[in-house]
Chain A
Amino acid sequence: GAGVSQSPSNKVTEKGKDVELRCDPISGHTALYWYRQSLGQGLEFLIYFQGNSAPDKSGLPSDRFSAERTGGSVSTLTIQRTQQEDSAVYLCASSLTPMGYEQYFGPGTRLTVT
C-alpha cells in the first residue's frame, strides 16, 4: 500500500510569511509524529498525535509553530511568521501504535526561508 506522503516536497518562502505543510499517514496508523531535520540540530521531535488524545506538543520550538490532525488522519503543520532558522526538512512519520513499533517516515518537506 501507499506509504506516508507529504506535500509540498519543497517550499521556498519569504521571511515573515506563513506556511502550511501537509502529511498523509498510512491508513489505520493511529500515531502520527512530526520531526525536523536540520544541519545544526539533527533530527528533533516536534509534535505527536494519538487518536483523540491531546497532542504532545513538547517539541515545538516556539508558539509560531502549531499543528492539527483532522479526523484522525491528515495532519497539517503550520509555521507563522517564518524565520530563517526555520529552514529545515520537516518529516512526518506514522505508526500503528505509539510504543515499540516501527515509525514509517514520509519523504519530507524541504522548507527554505529567504
Chain B
Amino acid sequence: AQRVTQPEKLLSVFKGAPVELKCNYSYSGSPELFWYVQYSRQRLQLLLRHISRESIKGFTADLNKGETSFHLKKPFAQEEDSAMYYCALTYSGNTGKLIFGQGTTLQVKP
C-alpha cells in the first residue's frame, strides 16, 4: 500500500542553522509529492509541490525516485518557520486524495 513516512516527530534547531525535514514514500509508479505546513492557529496550507520545482520561503524539496524520498530543506532556519510540516503523496488515478505522513514539528529556537 502507498505510504508516506516522516521519521522525526520533532526537529529542533537554532535560528540560522540548516534544516532538513525527511520524507520517504512507498509507491512504485510516478507520484506527485507535496509539502503542506500548518502554523500555530492557522489552517493547513500548501508549501510546495515537486512538479513546480519552486522555492517557497527559502524551502526546496527534490524528488529522489531512487531513494523514494522528498526531503524538505532550508539553508538558514528562521523563527517564523516554526510549524507542523506534512509530506503528502498522490498519484494518477487516485482522485487526487492525499496520503499524508505523520507530520514533523519544526521548532526554531532564537
Measured CB to CB, the residues of A under 8 A from B are 3, 31, 33, 35, 42-45, 48, 50, 56, 59, 91, 93, 95, 97-108
A48 to B43 alpha-carbon distance, docked (Å)? 19
Is B100 within 8 A of A103, CB to CB? no
Interface status of B28 (Cβ within 8 A of chain A): no
Residues from chain B with Cβ under 8 Å of A107 in the complex = 43
Q: Within the complex, which residue of B32, B45, B51, B95 is in contact with A48, where a contact is CB–CB below 8 Å?
A: B95
Measured CB to CB, the residues of B under 8 A from A are 32, 43-46, 49, 51, 86, 88, 90, 92, 95-103
Residues from chain B with Cβ under 8 Å of A45 in the complex = 97-99
Nearest chain B CB to A23 CB, angstrom units: 13
Nearest chain B CB to A92 CB, angstrom units: 10
Is A42 within 8 A of B101, CB to CB? yes
